[in-house]
Amino acid sequence: MTWAATLDYGRKTKNEDIRPGPLRPANIIRNKFPTYKNGSNGIVIKLADGPEVPPLKEVVAKETEELLDRRQRFSVRELAMKFEKGLNTATLLSKEVKWRQVALLERDILLKNLKSVLESLRGQVTGKTKDEIEESISMVEILAVQLSKREAELIQQKTEVTELAKSLKLASEDAKRIVEEERVNANTEVESARSAVQRVQEALQEHEKMSKRTGKQDMEELKKEVRVARRIKMLHCPSKAMDLENEIKTLRKTFTEKSVDCVNLLKELELHKRLKGNDIPVFDLEGLQCLGSMLHIVCQNGTPMDFSNISVQWFRIHPKESNKEIISGATRPAYAPEPNDVGRYMQAEINFGGETAIAKTAGLVDPDAGLVDYVETLVRKPETEFNVVVLQLNGIDQPKEAVHVLNVGRLRMRLSKGKTVVAKEFYSSSMQLCGVRGGGEAASQAMFWRPRSDLSFAVAFETARERNAAIMLARRFAIDCNVRASASPTCNARGMIFLIHGLFCRSSLQVRVTRLPGEGDGAHWCWMLVPPNSGPTGDPCRALQSERDVVHFSVFHDML
């Protein structure tokens, strides 16, 4: 049985309608799969079906490489999104591989069916048709081999895609974990920042409240200062100030006259007493018996004397007692009382021609009015500055043009000239501080200061009031530091009697110090308050553990 037309693979025939049915599937297969033809020497050649499509493996590798190259430029969140996208792509690729595998299975079945049909037809035809059928069977076998190779490649690609999907899935999980950790850390930092901001806000609110309170206090103080300033301004009108100055001058003049009259009366009374005892004084003390004045030794008959060959020594005499305290360095005919002399008699012993004469004040040295209140005002300040002029440095006279600043602080004293510190020393037991023991009218305004053993100054203040205030203030601060600043070495307190004098009255309390029985460390001291003009007995009020306590007990009087 022969056919009217020949078969030509890849081309249409003129009698295509009478083509036998079993050969039609070959055209169908040729339209769906790569086209092959027989070459020379029986070699099968694959014909080009169109533009070559890159393999799936290369596409996935290229995308993975681009993802790895760009991962440094993405944030954690973007990286997680990319991983999610890659995971979805891998899933789609896996599904595509499955679909292709299904297609391969269908192709295998079709090829098997086609081969079985062709083999059944080969036994039924002869001649040229049989050769064509055998050629078709060989092509089907070659196509089956190609499909098996393609299937192996797809299986390998499937394995690689599966591994890539697993790695992408792990990377996605890691990215999610990193994102979660970063989110937790960010939340922690945000909470800590919120708490810090809250603390700062609370501190600012507290600061604002304190500022408001302090501002109100400052405002009240400013109002008080303004009221005081207005009052001072009203009081310091030119006419009122002139009237006050005239009144003060009149009061001072009257006070001076009354003081002189009182001193003269006391001197006459003392002279009358001495005349009764045939003890006529040769010398007398001239000057006001008050703090800030000068006492001069003069002859009783009024004749001038040369004191160059006469030795003089000044003493402090406690009232109601016969004991006297020597004033170290006071060996000149003139003496300016200092705060230590308040409430005591001043006595000068004059040795001339082998004889000793005594000149004594008629009354106690009076305090300076308002000095205690002034010192109490200065004590409230941490330090006070006084303008002074250095008269002597280590006993050598100095030029008096430069003005220095004496700073009296709570812990130390400092003498400076501009920004240059001349002397600076903390309070200590070796520091000596007292009035100048010299003559001249400026002695009442001068002070002697020895900060240490190799350095001493004699400085002059603007007024006698400032000089006395500086001495009292320095001794007060020294007491606060448990130091006693004095003008002479500390004397032994054993058996001494200290007196506490009132600043505004002539009365006093007598303090008698006695040593109670005991040997060595068992002995201690006791002081008793004794009213004036009383006997030698008194009520013990306190036991002093050492002589140092006894010495410190007298500091109160030294301060006044």
pLDDT at 406: 92
Closest CA to 371 of 403, 417, 348, 339: 339
Q: What are residue 511's phi and psi, to 5 degrees? A: -110, 115
Query: Rounded to the nearest 5°, which phi and psi values hold at 543?
Result: -100, 125
Torsion sign, CA atoms 58, 61, 66, 67? positive
Report the half-sphere exposure of 444 (CA within 13 A, side-chain side). Answer: 18
pLDDT of residue 29: 40
CA distance 112 to 110: 5
Kindly report each contact of residues 307-310 with a partner whose C-beta sits within 8 Å and lies 24 or more positions away, as own/partner. Answer: 307/332, 307/333, 309/352, 310/350, 310/351, 310/352
Token code pair at residue 551: 């010495």
CA 163 to chain centre: 63
Question: Is residue 349 a contact partner of residue 333, using CB atoms and an 8 Å limit?
Answer: no
Record the tokens describing residue 70, joined without a space. 């760009």
- Distances 498 to 493, 507, 550 between C-alpha atoms, Å: 9, 14, 9
Residue 149: both structure tokens together: 């190779």
Burial (CB < 10 A; 0-12, 13-18, 19+), residue 48, is exposed
- What domains, with CATH codes, occur in the chain? 16-195 (1.10.287), 253-360 (2.60.40.2700), 371-480 (2.30.29.140), 497-559 (no CATH)
C-alpha span between 415 and 403 (Å, rounded): 11
Q: How many other C-beta atoms are found inside a 10 Å radius of the C-beta of residue 533? A: 7
> Could you tell me the sign of the dihedral formed by the alpha carbons of 155, 160, 164, 169, in that order?
positive
Would you say 346 and 360 are in contact if contact means Cβ atoms under 8 Å apart? yes
Distance separating alpha carbons of residues 557 and 339, to the nearest angstrom: 9
Token pair in block for residue 69: 């190259």
Q: Around Cβ 462, how many Cβ atoms within 10 Å?
A: 13
Longest dimension (CA), the chain: 196
Q: Retrieve residue 480's tokens.
A: 């606060």
Q: How many CA atoms lie within 13 A of 235 on its CB side?
A: 8
The SS3 assignment for 487 reads coil
As given in the structure block, the two tokens for residue 50 are: 């169109």
**Predicted pLDDT at 172:** 78
**What does the pLDDT read at residue 39?**
55
From first to last of its 560 residues, what are the pLDDT tens digits of the chain? 334 333 343 444 444 444 444 444 444 444 444 555 555 555 555 555 555 667 767 777 777 777 776 665 555 566 667 667 777 777 777 677 666 666 656 666 777 777 777 777 777 776 777 778 778 878 878 887 887 888 788 788 888 888 887 887 888 788 888 888 888 888 888 888 888 888 888 888 888 888 888 888 888 888 888 888 877 776 666 666 666 777 887 887 788 777 777 777 777 777 666 666 555 567 888 888 888 888 888 887 766 777 778 888 899 888 876 678 888 888 888 888 888 888 888 888 888 877 888 888 878 888 888 888 888 989 998 899 999 999 888 888 888 778 899 999 989 999 999 888 999 999 988 888 888 887 666 788 899 999 888 899 999 998 888 999 999 999 999 888 877 655 543 333 323 333 333 222 333 334 444 443 433 333 334 444 444 444 333 333 333 333 333 333 333 333 33
Q: How far apart are CA 330 and CA 312, in angstroms?
A: 8
According to the model, what pLDDT value does residue 414 have?
92
Neighbours of 85 (CB within 10 A): 14
Q: What is the pTM of this model?
A: 0.44
Alpha-carbon distances, residue 365 vs 254, 291, 510 (angstroms):
19, 7, 18
CB-CB contact of 286 with 294 (8 Å) = no
Angle at 49 between CA 43 and CA 52, to 5 degrees: 105
CA dist., res. 23 & res. 59, Å (int): 38
Task: Tell which phi-psi region holds residue 152, choosing left (phi > 0), alpha (psi between -120 and 50) or beta.
Answer: alpha
**pLDDT in the model for residue 525:** 41
